[in-house]
A and B are shown apart, each in its own frame.
Chain A
Amino acid sequence: MSNKNEKLPKAAITSEPVYHWIAEGVFFLFSFLFLGMYNGELLYKLQSSSLFLGNSIFAQESINQSAGLLVYASRFLIQLLFHPLLGGALLAAGLVGIERMIYILFAPKGTFAFLSFIPSLLIMLVQTSVGYALYDNFESSSIVSIELGTALSLALTLLFLLIDKEHRLWGMVANLLIAVLLFFGIGIFALLPVFLFAIKTRPSNRKEFRIASVAGIALLLLLPFITDKYVYQEKYIMAMLSPISDAYFSNLYHLSLAVLLSILLIAVFKFKDTRFSNRIMVINVFMLALLCYGTYHYSFRDENYRTELTLQHQAENMEWESMLNTVRKVKKPTQGIAAYRYIALLNTNQMDDLFNFPCRYDTIKSPYKMLTIEVYYPDLYFYSSQLNQAMMWNMEFWVNSGRNFGLLKRFAMFSLVKGEMNSARKYINLMKQTMFYSKWAYEHEKYIGHQDLLFHDYPILKLVNAMQIKEDISFGISNLPNTYIKYPSMDAANLQRRLMMDLYSKQTDQFMLDIQYLSDTYREKGSMPVCMQEVLALYALNKGDMTINRFPVRKDVIERVKNFVAAVQPYANDLDTGAEAMKDYEDDYCYFLVFSKVFPKEKKDKEEEKK
């Protein structure tokens, strides 16, 4: 240890300021890696779940709410997360800036120097704990506004203290005036400096402390009341704490409050320890490492969630093979992952593989109490050529989950394929007002009124268009298998899709009816998907239905089905054990049919069954 000290320039490392710079450098690196790289897909999704349009209506709508200026600025800045490395670097720089200002303002030193990192780490935890709240009407720009607001608060406190140092009392007066003026624009972050100022001036000027404290508390109570009643008509507590997420998103709400509280605590308890030694430095290094690990550990890191985010990004870029590579690594998928896999299989003409995948789906683990949200519906229906349903679901997410870039882009794309060119023009023109989606908008403008060109450049969209079923049916809120079933007739290509959906929803009787229409097709082809062969074999074995004779079914498939039927019997009353014991059959449709827990039936179907 002493040798090491001798090798290094002592003044450089063991002096606290130098140590702190180095610690900040390491912290920046950690933040950048954790946010920009590890959570890159999350950052991308956060921006695509947000919206910023460069027009007056959008500005008015954004600003006309509690902390509206901060919300508007955050909606603008969150666009930068389109490039996660850039976004990660900026967020990391902001976090280091916050840490540095806390260090300057409250100087936690010696053994407690690591404390100045806590608010930044908590902010990072807010940013990485969003989880499935993303799919609800969560204002994703709040992950920027908490950082921007905190930085602004601390900068204002520094400014007011500087003014106060030069001109006694004027710092406080400026502080209170700015707090009142800015409260409607930046919310709670306009009031935080009042309290920080009061705490900071307490030892030197009791009078200032008393005035600032009383005024701060009065403003904290009064300004939200005015906002609530006369300006924005919002809930009192929401008006007080804006732009912090509503208590509905409880984990984020509490973490955000913890950020504010941690700053106040650091300010109140002056953690000053003038000593600094190698031992203290080691303690600090250890504590900082522990805190960073804690942030990583307590962030929302569910693997399936992360996979879903990756799949959504890949689906947006139409990277079907990459999607299939992504899902290959999944051990126990969610229904969402299975849906995106379906889309990828559909678009790569590999539907035969549909059931070669784990089918006992994992439940979603979320710190946030979420509803079942089928975020994949717009894509699922779109690539299944059900364009009206795709548009309907896109609109549902638009109005219920919040308007965002991802949905706007889908509106434009769906309208182009549907041939609704005036709508497509509107959406594309709006996209031109954005920072990064404008490129896509300008590239796709040429397709307005030129569907042939679109279909030439995007063969997959040509297929989507060609596979539309021109016959009109009316439907309620149906899942995809039930949508297919509602069509009285359809062409062979769509009928094959319907057969797969019959199998997916375990409607094998319906499958046996539907497949009659394709006997010639499969006989001519000389082959058919193994999953379909299995069902024909099952019906022949169990029900004596000899439809199988009209189709090209392989003997080895029949043998395997026989073996499966024999093997599954002991587990008839204990499917969970059976599923574990019969893993050899996991890639078979028979296994799926018996053991999968997928596609919960629609409520209406259940009611009908009861009747």
Chain B
Amino acid sequence: MKTKLISKWVVAGLILVLSACSTKVPTDFKNNGKEVKIWPDYTQTVIPPNIAPMNFAVNADGDKCVVSIQPEVGSPIVISTGADKDIRIPLKQWKEMLNANKGKTLKYDVYVSLNGQWSHYRPFTNMVAPDSIDPYLTYRLIEPSYMGSGELGLYQYNLETGEETTIFTNHRGHKDPSLRSQKCVNCHSTQPNHPENKLFYYRGPNGGLILTYNGKVQRINTKAGDMYAGTVYPAWHPSLPFIAFSSNVIKQQFMSYDPQKIEQFDLYSDLVLYDIKKNEITAICKTKDKQESTPCWSADGQYLYFASSDSMMEKTGDFKHLLYNIYRMKFNASNKTWGQRELVYDAVSTHHSACFPKMSVDGYLLFVRANYGVAHQTHKSADLYLLNTRTGACRNLAEVNSPTEADSYHDWSGNGRWIVVSSRRQDGNYARPYFAYFDRKGKAYKPFVIPREDPHHDDYLLKNYNVTEFAKAPIVTHQCDIQAVIDAPAKDATYGSPIDKNAIDASSGASTVK
């Protein structure tokens, strides 16, 4: 009796497994000729050969759905779902399919059943790019808030598997209100050619630069000498132990009617260089009548690009008059000296403001241009612009930009073939990372949003993806080790430049350790 019962269960189980394996494409259907709407929109785009499954939901009336992904090489993947119509692609089959189809096309056939009648939509395609994307994306998740920042953290996302892991969060402060002042973590960045070297900031009491270099984690007070503020926007030298920073006195104003409710701007900003081995800060630009911010190195480390404005808030009194151009300066690493500043992109002459330059390995400069200011993440006019530094040709990267919402913080993959950009195109409020392929001819393709296991993940997420940057390797430092560094005394950076006794004395919203 007992044996019979067991065998019944085994048979039932086998039937279940077999039926799951043998999902079949409907044979009796009507072609409705319509374009299928899927969310996120992954249609007609170019995807990396090492990307995690690009799951999506089919937006169509129906109680069942079947999707068949047909590659040029190999067998198709067929997925069936119920009324939710969420298509979740098996990781292993997806990886095999992408590997076998680099440079080739995948065709998606979507069938939806309503009241027993199957409809077949017009197929859409994706091209699998020959070039891989960096395997990790790091970012901060933060509410789109104005003053307080609440619970936030740094995370890394494995673009190959879709797994998100925590680097560091401030959740202690959230649970214990007496720790609320310990709340800000931001500006995570890795050294391009040595991805094991990383940094981020921890603000508030016991704050400072949390630097991981050659496997050692330390907390450094980078406000040194006559700097009026701590360091803010970092730029790792591609290979040498230098980090260029801007040092900013940041303020913000709220607007009473404008849909752009907040404006963040700098009262003062300069550039400094941090020599990791010497633990020494030296001035790069120390100008009283100019502002310099958002530095970035050229791929060979010979030039430092940055945004600079001739207007100062204290002179103009209106942040809409703060306009930035893109400049660069030559760097001599042997003696840490700098050449003259050279204008790279003139935005001011057309009454625009450009910032956040980022260089690709093959000489393309990507930056954000908007109507004014430097905090382009909230500017609806913010768009990515592309400058070919070899030809001088510059254009709006319209194929990647959204028509009405902010497209701002961005990064190049290590091979220069992929762009990630934080865009608020979904709802105007919550930024999401979009990826776009950039081919060798300088053409970009339709961007796609970060793929998640649950296609509705980002609809549910009430936080912004902030400072999205590629990384070639994961962060392995455990959060408890970082916490131990935060709890231990900080190391003060020394100051290697002459101190100006009449230096501006201003309170900073940036990282002051003392």
Contacts and interface: CB of A to CB of B under 8 A. Distances in A.
Interface of A: 53, 55-58, 65, 136-137, 139, 229-230, 232-235, 238, 246, 248, 386-389, 391-392, 395-396, 398-400, 403, 418, 420, 422-423, 425-426, 429-430, 468-477, 483, 486
Given A391-B261, A396-B148, A403-B462, A422 B454 contact: no
A139 B176 CA distance: 10
A469 B150 contact: no
B356 interface: no
A57 B461 contact: yes
Given A229-B480, A400-B148, A422-B428, A388 B177 contact: no
Nearest to A392: B146
Contacts of B426: 422
B148 A399 contact: yes
A387 B259 CA distance: 10
B176 A248 contact: yes
A395 B143 contact: yes
B172 interface: yes
Interface string B160-202: 0000000000011011111010000000000000000000000
A56 B254 contact: no
A418 B256 CA distance: 12
A420 B259 contact: yes
A476 B148 contact: no
A517 B150 CA distance: 44
A136 B478 CA distance: 31
B255 interface: yes
B256 A388 contact: yes
B89 to A, nearest CB: 17
Given A392-B146, A396-B145, A399-B150, A233 B257 contact: no
Contacts of B253: 474-476
Given A65-B175, A426-B427, A57 B483 contact: no
Contacts of A389: 254, 256
Nearest to B261: A388
Nearest to A60: B164
Nearest to A55: B460
Interface residues of B, number: 43
B88 interface: no
Interface in B240-278: 253-259, 261-263
A471 B261 CA distance: 13
Given A55-B460, A139-B175, 10 more contacts: A58-B460, A234-B171, A391-B261, A395-B144, A396-B146, A399-B148, A399-B150, A422-B426, A430-B460, A473-B257
A248 B177 contact: yes
B294 to A, nearest CB: 23
A398 B145 CA distance: 9
Given A230-B480, A422-B428, A472-B257, A246 B176 contact: yes
Given A57-B457, A425-B427, A430-B460, A473 B175 contact: no
Contacts of B456: 55
B174 A423 contact: no
A157 to B, nearest CB: 28
B495 to A, nearest CB: 32
Nearest to B482: A233
Contacts of B427: 420, 422-423, 425-426
A1 B411 CA distance: 88
A234 B172 contact: yes
B459 interface: yes
Contacts of A229: 480
Contacts of A246: 175-178
B258 to A, nearest CB: 5
Contact of B263 (A391, A403, A474): A474
11 contacts: A56-B454, A234-B171, A234-B175, A235-B176, A248-B177, A388-B256, A388-B258, A399-B151, A403-B462, A426-B429, A474-B254
A141 B180 CA distance: 20
A248 B178 CA distance: 7
B479 interface: yes
Contacts of A418: 259
B256 A469 contact: yes
Interface in B219-256: 253-256
A399 B149 contact: yes
Given A230-B480, A426-B427, A137 B177 contact: yes
A438 to B, nearest CB: 15
B147 interface: yes
B430 interface: yes
A472 B143 contact: no
Interface in B114-158: 143-151
Contacts of A403: 462
B457 A56 contact: yes
A259 B474 CA distance: 45
A308 B460 CA distance: 32
A233 B480 contact: yes
A427 to B, nearest CB: 9
A136 B457 CA distance: 28
B499 to A, nearest CB: 30
Nearest to B463: A57
A145 to B, nearest CB: 14
Contacts of A473: 255-257
A139 B175 CA distance: 8
Among A65, A229, A395, A471, the most chain B Cβ lie within 10 Å of the Cβ of: A395
A580 B480 CA distance: 60
Contacts of A398: 143, 145, 150
Contact of B143 (A238, A399, A471, A476): A399
B150 A475 contact: no
A395 B478 CA distance: 31
Among A58, A137, A230, A386, the most chain B Cβ lie within 10 Å of the Cβ of: A137
A468 B257 contact: yes
A114 to B, nearest CB: 36
B408 to A, nearest CB: 18
B176 A238 contact: yes
A405 to B, nearest CB: 13
Contact of A420 (B178, B429, B454, B483): B429
Nearest to B458: A57
Contact of A474 (B171, B255, B479): B255
A109 B412 CA distance: 75
Contacts of B478: 230
A389 B261 CA distance: 9
Contacts of A235: 172, 175-176
B256 A476 contact: no
Nearest to A391: B261
Contacts of A248: 176-178
A388 B254 contact: yes
A224 to B, nearest CB: 14
A97 B263 CA distance: 55
Nearest to A56: B454
Given A388-B261, A399-B149, A472-B256, A65 B171 contact: yes
Contacts of B150: 398-400
A422 B150 CA distance: 23
Contacts of A392: 146-147, 254, 261-262
A461 to B, nearest CB: 17
A400 B171 CA distance: 12
A186 B454 CA distance: 27
Nearest to B480: A229
Contacts of B457: 56-57
